[in-house]
Amino acid sequence: MGLGSITRRPLQANILMLGLDSAGKSTLLYKFKYNDVFLTIPTIGFNVDMIEIEKDFTLTFWDVGGQKKMRPVWCNFLENADGLLYVVDSSDKQRLEESKKEFELILKNEFLKSVPVVMLANKQDLPGALNAEEITRRFNMKKYCSDRNWYVQPCCAITGEGLSEALQRLTTFAKHFSRSKETFTIFKEIETL
């Protein structure tokens, strides 16, 4: 029996949304879910929502608060992530370095090994916002994400521009990742037989 015939099609995947406070994570989540813009307040704790992307496939989004006092909590959400959606306020040049440091730190965590990354270069509507190429360069994506699938998507959570592309990319990456995780588990099971 070939491996292909025993791997199952994934039905759902967990997407972890991280990024500094005010990057736009909760606004994005509501836009994904309701295609509408809601007034947000800084997230203390987390929001979780499921979105049916296609028939028989659901993404579960974990939107965790990004304030400094919330960041130590991030590590509790890393296990079981099938994709990381890292959100950046592309117009906040002053805190770009801070965002990059948090990003690098999180990528080093063992639980996120090989987990694919979609980076959202959000707030493209604001004057002076850095474009996706510039965000890619400043975050050193080619170096830090060389061991996984990654993509940088420019977007605006208010107008929704770029969001369907981001969801499409996340879905492809997360499906691929859950399949490889499952194949790995099967191999381990065979090894221990």
Ligand X SMILES: Nc1nc2c(ncn2[C@@H]2O[C@H](COP(=O)(O)OP(=O)(O)OP(=O)(O)O)[C@@H](O)[C@H]2O)c(=O)[nH]1
Binding residues for Mg(2+): 26, 43
122 binds Mg ion (CB under 5 A): no
Shortest approach of Mg ion to residue 24 CB, angstroms? 8
Cβ proximity of 170 and 59 under 8 Å: yes
Cβ proximity of 65 and 43 under 8 Å: yes
Instruction: Out of 10, 66, 83, 162, name the contact with ligand X by CB under 6 A.
Output: 66
Q: What is the dihedral of CA 29, 112, 105, 64, to 10 degrees?
A: 30
171 binds ligand X (CB under 6 A): no
26 binds Mg ion (CB under 5 A): yes
In the complex with ligand X, the residue whose CB is nearer, 47 or 60, is 47
What residues are annotated to the active site?
67
Instruction: Out of 26, 99, 153, 178, name the contact with ligand X by CB under 6 A.
Output: 26
Element holding 164 (H helix, E strand) = helix 163-191
Number of H helices, E strands in the chain: 5, 6
158 binds, among ligand X, Mg ion, none (CB under 5 to 8 A by kind): ligand X
123 binds ligand X (CB under 6 A): yes
Q: Hey, what are 9's tokens? A: 């099609």
